[in-house]
Amino acid sequence: MWFDTQAEEAAKFYVSVFKNSNVNKVTHYPEDAANRIGCKPGSVMTVEFTLDGVEFVALNAGPQFKFTEAVSFVVMCETQKEVDYYWEKLAADGGEPGPCSWLKDKFGLSWQVQPRLLIELLGDPDKAKAERVMNAMMQMGKIEVAALEKAARSS
């Protein structure tokens, strides 16, 4: 994950959101490399961290590249309570809610916070049911499980 200068701050934020997570290792720029890219010698270069068993590396390498919606991380949730928790935490402090389960966090990284039920219902062999669920989802930002279930039941 490419950051300008916020790799350590981002890693600490993500670790605070996801259970079973931790910062594993932080490396710092040696003087020559720092001077080449225009950062302060000794500043954070990389942060290795684990989010609920998945390993990531965040890199501070300048402002050339930004996150886009072309890549997003999916948080699969079992309950509405989990959807609410991750949605609120990830969209906090300057994040941006989006449509159909998407949001951007305060660092500009895109996330999809979805109940597992959504994927199951969208793949239902009853095509009319799946379409009703899709239409309901298209009206939502944060996904509401009860509304999905209602759409699935209606005819």
Give the pLDDT of residue 127: 97
Same-domain pairing of 101 and 42: no
Q: Is the pTM of this model over 0.85?
A: yes
1: confidence class by pLDDT, cuts 50, 70, 90: very high
**φ, ψ at 36 (rounded to 5°):** -65, -35
* Domain match, 92 and 148 both: yes
CATH number of the domain that residue 53 is part of: 3.30.720.100
The number of distinct structural domains making up the chain is 2
Containing domain of residue 120, as a range?
A: 72-153
Asked which of 10, 36, 60 is the last residue of a domain, the reply is 60
Q: Are residues 43 and 98 in the same domain?
A: no
Residue 112 lies in a domain: yes
Selection from 47, 54, 46 nearest residue 21 by Cα: 54
Q: State pLDDT tens for residues 5-27.
A: 999 999 999 999 999 999 999 99
Give dist(CA 92, CA 133) in Å, integer.
28
Does 109 lie in the same domain as 83?
Answer: yes
Cα gap 151→147, rounded to integer Å: 6
pLDDT of residue 155: 76
65 found inside a domain? no
Residue 56 has a pLDDT of 98
The amino acid sitting at 118 is L
Domain check: are 98 and 140 in the same one? yes
Average pLDDT of the residues in 23-44: 95
Q: Count CA within 13 A, CB hemisphere, residue 1.
A: 25
**Residue 43 identity (one-letter amino acid):** S
Whether residues 99 and 56 share a domain: the answer is no
